[in-house]
Amino acid sequence: MHLLIIGGSDAGISAALRARELDRGADVTVVVSDSFPNYSICGLPFYLSGEVPNWRRLAHRTVEDIEHEGIGLWLSHTATAIDPTAKTVEIVDAGGQTRALSYDHLVIATGAAPAPVEVPGADLPGVYPLHTMEDSFRVHQHITEQDPQSAVIIGAGYIGLEMADAFTHRGLQVTVIVRSQVLRATIDVGLARVVEDELHRRGVEVVKQVNVEAIQGDGSRLVIAGSNGFRRNAELVLLAGGVRPSSELAASAGIHTGMRGAIRVDRAMATNVPNIYAAGDCVETWHRMTGQNTYLPLGTTAHKQGRVAGENAAGGHRQFAGSLGTQVVKVFDLAVARTGLRDEEARNAGFDPFTTESRIWDHKAYYPGAHELLIRVTGDRRRGRLLGGQIVGHWQAEVAKRIDIFATALYHDMSVEDLNDLDLSYTPPVGSPWDAVQMSAQDWARQLPG
């Protein structure tokens, strides 16, 4: 069996490894558009901050590690066409030479690309996206050679917030610009304000409700102009306005696309074209709670979908168990996490949500170093079913552990009350006899109307 995979990031390499685990005789080949297969793009802000000084440490696996697993790599080759009838993929190298690779099964794992920035001046020197290893090298070179003192970040997604931290770590004065009324649209307004306060505390300027209309060069400076007369000077501009699925190659081969142009797949990660699977940031994601497809690009999801695609390409019958949208991001001293549905999302999905907010110590307050956690619990007021959780707290206060408790409970359709029955660990330096998650569940039950 010859399995061909287009894309060498999370989903692609996960598919390749799983196929080889199940079928050691499988001929598995991965086409990678650059020379950095299986690198942690999520780690780029920590390389640029200097906290991870060697970019090579961002490799989950080296080229040698991957090839040792019996996986062939076509590095610095771009797939340009898929012929489902002939079962071939045309690839081209940096010099423009083309060749056709045949396949029995194909996995498309082309990922996502930065959302187009329709702003004059977005291509000026000193203006950068941050999505690939090459992008990070360009930003790193600018910082080390030009020694900028100020940066403007357009957008406040994961990369935008993490890079505000990274640039501040490097001594730059940072301004973050967002179009919306809230800094972070994926969490509730009150929690977003806590994050905004942390940015202000660290000297980051946050400018909301501004549309950037132009970026102009002015000697060694860049001038960012926006709505309502907004103007700001900077020596470096980072474009962090989100991503879109890289699905053009698939669509040109007759593969169906859906939400935001993402490739449409079933839960086996199969497309509408026989013998072709797709996984990762280029595909729609089945949401476990709503039962509907959405577009939710996350590295954790890409790994799982790639594993499912690789297993099924090797003859298996696995299904993707769905996403809950579980996320966590570190912003200076805060960790910000969510899973499941927020109030409005739950209502739109047909639930009758009720949400409470609790402030709870992360461990026994008498032990030094206790931090307060802000926890929001959303449950269905009719059935008591847990629908979602959100947490903001100190990044060393086990925020990720606790959001994962909520995520595990959501996966198993537990009620809010069921959280109290979980046998969770306890010792005063790290917790309480009732964990913070359980105390927030008890608050929800106490405040539930009726």
Q: By C-alpha distance, which of 154, 127, 164 is closest to 48?
A: 164
All residue ranges of the chain with pLDDT < 50 are none
Alpha-carbon span 419 to 93, nearest angstrom: 54
pLDDT of residue 219: 80
Residues 85-134: tens digit of each pLDDT:
999 999 999 999 999 999 999 999 999 999 888 899 999 999 999 999 99
Torsion sign, CA atoms 169, 171, 175, 181? positive
Question: Is 42 a known active-site residue?
Answer: yes
pLDDT of residue 450: 79
CATH number, domain 127-239: 3.50.50.60
Among candidate residues 42, 52, 270, 400, the one labeled active-site is 42
Tokens of 222: 């860049």
Contact 164, 250 (CB under 8 A): no
Q: What is the residue type of 356?
A: T
pLDDT of residue 321: 97
pLDDT of residue 404: 98
**Phi, psi angle pair for 188, to nearest 5°:** -65, 155
Pairing of strands 173-177, 205-207: parallel
Alpha-carbon separation of residue 17 from 104, 111, 290, 446 (angstroms) = 17, 18, 30, 48
Residues 381-423: tens digit of each pLDDT:
999 999 999 999 999 999 999 999 999 999 999 999 999 999 9
Q: Could you count the other beta carbons within 10 Å of the beta carbon of residue 275?
A: 14
DSSP structure class, residue 264: P
- What lies within 8 Å, CB to CB, of 335 at 6+ separation is 328, 329, 391, 392, 393, 394, 395, 397, 399, 400
CATH number, domain 327-445: 3.50.50.60
Q: Which letter, b or e, does each residue of 129-144 get, where b requires 16 or more Cβ atoms within 10 Å of its Cβ?
A: bbbbbebbeebeebbe
pLDDT of residue 117: 84
Residue with tokens 């409970």: 409
pLDDT of residue 116: 86
Alpha-carbon separation of residue 333 from 41, 199, 362, 391 (angstroms) = 22, 10, 15, 14
Residue with tokens 């909520």: 406
CATH number, domain 2-38+59-113+243-313: 3.50.50.60
pLDDT of residue 184: 80
Identify the three-state secondary structure at position 22. helix
Torsion sign, CA atoms 61, 62, 67, 72? positive
- Residues pairing with 234 in the sheet: 222
**Phi, psi angle pair for 65, to nearest 5°:** -60, -45
Compute the chain's Rg from CA coordinates: 23
Sheet containing strand 372-380, edge to edge, reads 327-331, 334-340, 386-394, 372-380, 353-361
Could you tell me where in the chain the CATH 3.50.50.60 domains are found? Answer: 2-38+59-113+243-313, 127-239, 327-445
